[in-house]
Amino acid sequence: MHGAVDTSLYRLGNMVDKKQATRPSARTAVREPGGRQAAYTARNRAALISAAQHVLAEFGVEGTVEQLVAQAQVSPATIYNYFGSKEALLTEALSQMWQHWLLEAYNGKQPGESFDDMMDVCRKLFRVGKSHPLFAQVLNKTLKDPSFIVAAVGGDALSTLRNAASPGGLAMSDFDKRVSLFTHSLAGIMQDVHVTRQLAPAEADVSLAIALSLWNLSPAEASRLTSRPLSS
């Protein structure tokens, strides 16, 4: 009798173990909806950023919420839910476009490792019209007010410049003042390339060489930096 009871209990235990083994755990059940929500959020953010990049290319920073929602086909509330403000969305859109372009421009190299490479990237900015027409159009619109693009990407650019400056032989005294002057000089050159069209890329290279004097580089060194063959 006791043997029959023990056998029944043993079978019942096996049945319970099998059901528990096939039943989704509480942790899995919670993770799956969270994963779907995260993917949904990421898709929405990406769609909004893509729409904002096209609005920047067409209207610049003056683009309105109405233009953004028309491009993204969402409600105004969606923009505020994900980014808090129109300005934050436009800034993120420009920042991401800038970062994606930098990855290509550095061609696998680490930003900040070499001042030579950094100057090559500056010169590539003068030549983005054919290779990256949407980015060139965004530059055309946003450089009308350089303060916007400086605020959007200036932090990363400053960090890269600081890393490259000393190994590149740049003067480090009054560094912040030199950065400010060089930034405004570069913004002015880019305006003349992308907005007023007064400078061709080769002419912009010459202007960049002049701006490099702010770092106490010799004319010969500045000429070398702005005449190197550029990788594609």
pLDDT > 90? residue 209: yes
102 and 159 in contact (C-beta within 8 Å)? Answer: no
Ranges of H-type helices in the chain: 2-22, 26-59, 65-72, 76-83, 86-105, 115-125, 128-131, 133-142, 146-165, 175-194, 201-211, 219-225
DSSP assigned state of 173 = T
Q: How far apart are CA 1 and CA 211, in angstroms?
A: 99
pTM exceeding the 0.85 threshold for the entire prediction: no
At 19-67, the pLDDT tens digits run: 444 444 434 434 445 678 888 788 889 999 999 999 999 999 999 999 9
Determine the pLDDT at residue 97.
95
Cβ atoms < 10 Å from Cβ of 194: 23
Determine the pLDDT at residue 37.
80
Instruction: Calculate the alpha carbon distances from 130 to 124, 133, 134, 136 in Å.
Output: 11, 6, 10, 8
Query: What are the φ/ψ torsions at residue 150 (nearest 5 degrees)?
Result: -65, -40
DSSP assigned state of 110 = P
At 114-150, the pLDDT tens digits run: 999 999 999 999 999 988 999 999 999 999 888 889 8
Q: Which of 2-11, 160-169, 187-196, 202-211 has the lowest mean pLDDT?
A: 2-11
pLDDT > 60? residue 14: no
Mind listing the domains of the chain with CATH numbers?
2-89 (1.10.10.60), 106-225 (no CATH)
The sign of the torsion formed by the CA atoms of 206, 208, 214, 216 equals negative
Ramachandran assignment for 73, one of left (phi > 0), alpha (psi -120 to 50 degrees), beta (any other):
left
Determine the pLDDT at residue 33.
53
Determine the pLDDT at residue 4.
47
